[in-house]
Amino acid sequence: MNSKVLNVGKKDYQEEFKGKIIKIPAGGHIVMEFYDACAFKGTYPGKGIVKQIKVEKIPGTDKSPDLKVCNMCSSTFATEKELLEHSKIHSDSVAPEITEKKKAGRPTNEELRRRREMKNDTGTSAGNNKGAN
Ligand SMILES: [Zn+2]
């Protein structure tokens, strides 16, 4: 979110912040990212320097409510498309592995049932044959 950094003092204000010289004319303002603006407001300008800074959020520049959050890892994305693109990471790494294991290793319930039926069939038919003969 952007914010206005207002110089509510009567003198132009200048301060080096994050390696940049920030200049705000008296009564004027500059636009800065809100968190930066708060940090800027909180810095100590030096002895004898009057710092009268006000920070105002600029409505409509807040992106956070629209951010898409990944349920798996809590990463945030600006658009639904980006999130979908990202979520493939999770589905690719997890889902196919499980499917492969199922195919290769454990037999499915249906397979087990079929195997059991086959055993029963041979068992009964052998018994029937013996009995018949
Ligand atoms: Zn994720």
> Which residues 6+ apart lie within 8 Å of 95 measured at CB?
none
Cα separation, 54 vs 120, whole angstroms: 85
- For the entire predicted model, the pTM comes to 0.47
Cα separation, 34 vs 17, whole angstroms: 14
Q: What percentage of the chain carries pLDDT values higher than 90?
A: 35
| Residues around the ion ligand 1 (C-beta < 5 A) | 70, 72-73, 75
What digits encode the pLDDT tens for the residues 47-98? Answer: 998 999 999 998 876 655 667 888 888 888 888 888 889 988 887 655 555 5
Element (H, E) at 76: strand 76-77
- The alpha carbon of 87 and the centre of ligand 1 are apart by a number of angstroms equal to 6
Cα separation, 131 vs 133, whole angstroms: 5
